[in-house]
Amino acid sequence: MVRYILKRLGLAIVTIWIVATLTFFLMNMVPGGPFLSEKAVSPKALATLEEKYGLDKPLFEQYITYMKGAVHGDFGDSLKQRGRTVMSIITTKFPVSARVGGLAVLFSFLLGVPLGCISALNRGKAGDNAIIVIATCGIAVPSFVVCTVLMYIFGVRLKWLPTLGLSTWKNYIMPIAALAFYPTAYITRLMRSSMLDVLGQDYMRTARAKGLNQFISLFKHALRNAVLPVVTYLGPLLAYTVTGSFIVEKIFTIPGLGGEFIGSITSRDYTVIMGTTIFLAALMVIMNVIVDIVYKLVDPRIKLK
């Protein structure tokens, strides 16, 4: 077990390093620099700025310097936002995204699992069909459509909910609903198919044959096994909802990491690009490792490689 975890962590570090390297060279490939887009900077000022941030050195040397700093936890200062370190940007922006994303994942789990179970237990009946139709449509709707339609109905027409910012609890409703829409539909489908699979297993028949209470057999035998695929989906989902919420953050103007991300790329804020990339890649990779370990803990049948 310890060996497995160490091996996975080693691989995770390699992945993060590759992503960081790729991003570094890719971002330098883009023509133009962080100081070019600003209004008429004199060549002398430009040279001073570049010297200050070490951008005048050869690319490879910059890379080595950056990596040395990053290993020691120093992601440098932002090139565009004066006087802010990349670390402070991440630590102020990430909690916002994490709160919205985490709540969305929680809701989609709490909603999707029961819906999938109900649907599987009533297979072929009207309830099942209704849930399946809704879930199938739910998967087909892109998040910007959900966002804008929600905004139009509840924000513009009915004026029940505020459309901008995150000042009160009411502000959270629409972004969370928009973010949770797709995962809920997905989890419902996943849960339904895995529940159907489990219900057809021999041990379920045995449980019924020996006269086990239906609720116990359902919760203790079926649910515990059927929820496993959903658990594996939760890890990537959690990482994705935090990183993939660009659109939701853009539409509802939430000051989160996703918006920072896109913003830093368009303004060529090299250090912020690198910092956020490394941070988000690490988040995703480690989330995957944790899910694999949790998977092993909840399902002893799985052998670790």
Partner 1 sequence: MRDNPNPLSMQLKLNPDDFLPASDEEKQSLVVMRDSVSFWKDGLRRLGKNKIAMVSLVAVVIIMLFSFVVPSFYPYSYEEQIRGSENMAPMKYSEEEQARIDAGEHIFPHVLGTDKLGRDYAIRVMMGSRISLIVGLVAAVIILIIGSVFGSIAAFFGGWVDLIMMRIVDIIYTVPDILLIVLLSFALKAPLESLSQMPGFGWIQVVGRNLISIFIVFALLYWVGMARMVRSQILMLKESEYVTAARALGASNGRIIKKHLLTNCIGTLIVTTTLQIPSSIFTESFLSFLGLGVAVPMPSLGSLASDAINGLNTYPYLLFIPAILISLIILSFNLLGDGLRDAFDPKMKN
Alpha helices in 1-125 (DSSP H): 2-29, 43-52, 59-71, 86-121
Under the binding rule (CB under 8 A), the answer on residue 63 touching partner 1 is no
CB contact at 8 A, 272 and 264? yes
Task: Write out the binding residues for partner 1, residues 258-277 only, by CB under 8 A.
Answer: 261-262, 265, 273, 276-277
Position 232 contacts partner 1 (CB under 8 A): no
Which of 53, 107, 144, 295 binds partner 1 (CB under 8 A)? It is: 144
CA end-to-end span of the chain: 10
DSSP of 274-304 = HHHHHHHHHHHHHHHHHHHHHHHHH-TTSPP
Residue span binding partner 1 (CB under 8 A) among the ranges 82-90, 94-102, 138-146, 206-214: 138-146
197 contacts partner 1 (rule: CB under 8 A)? yes
Stretch that binds partner 1, among 8-16, 75-83, 97-105, 114-122 (CB under 8 A): 8-16
Tokens representing 7? 């091996």
Among 55, 207, 251, 254, binds partner 1 (CB under 8 A): 251
Neighbours of 201 (CB within 10 A): 14
Residue 251 phi/psi, 5-degree rounding, is -70, -45
Between helices 257-266 and 270-298, what is the axis angle to 10°? Answer: 140
Specify the stretch interacting with partner 1 by CB under 8 A; choose among 74-82, 149-157, 170-178, 214-222: 149-157
Q: Measured between alpha carbons, how far is 107 from 179 in angstroms, rounded to an integer? A: 10
Which residues have C-beta within 8 Å of that of residue 50, sequence separation ≥ 6? 33, 35, 56
Binding of residue 62 to partner 1 (CB under 8 A): no
Among 136, 206, 213, 253, binds partner 1 (CB under 8 A): 136
Residue 251's closest CA among 143, 90, 128, 131? Answer: 143
Of the residues 15, 122, 201, 232, which one makes contact with partner 1 according to CB under 8 A? 15
User: Least CB distance from residue 219 to partner 1, whole Å?
Assistant: 22
**Minimum Å distance from CB 48 to partner 1?**
26
Can residue 124 be called a binding residue for partner 1 (CB under 8 A)? no
Contact status: 33 vs partner 1 (CB under 8 A): no
Kindly tell me which of 136 and 168 has the beta carbon lying closer to partner 1. 136
In the complex with partner 1, the residue whose CB is nearer, 36 or 149, is 149
Indicate the burial class of 278 (C-beta count within 10 angstroms; 0-12, 13-18, 19 or more).
buried
Token reading at 70: 């990053």
Give the single-character DSSP code of 254: -
114 vs 236, which CB is nearer to partner 1?
236
Binding site for partner 1 (CB under 8 A): 11, 14-15, 18-19, 22-23, 26-27, 29-31, 136-137, 139-145, 148-149, 151-152, 156, 193-194, 196-197, 243-244, 246-247, 250-251, 261-262, 265, 273, 276-277, 280-281, 284-285, 288
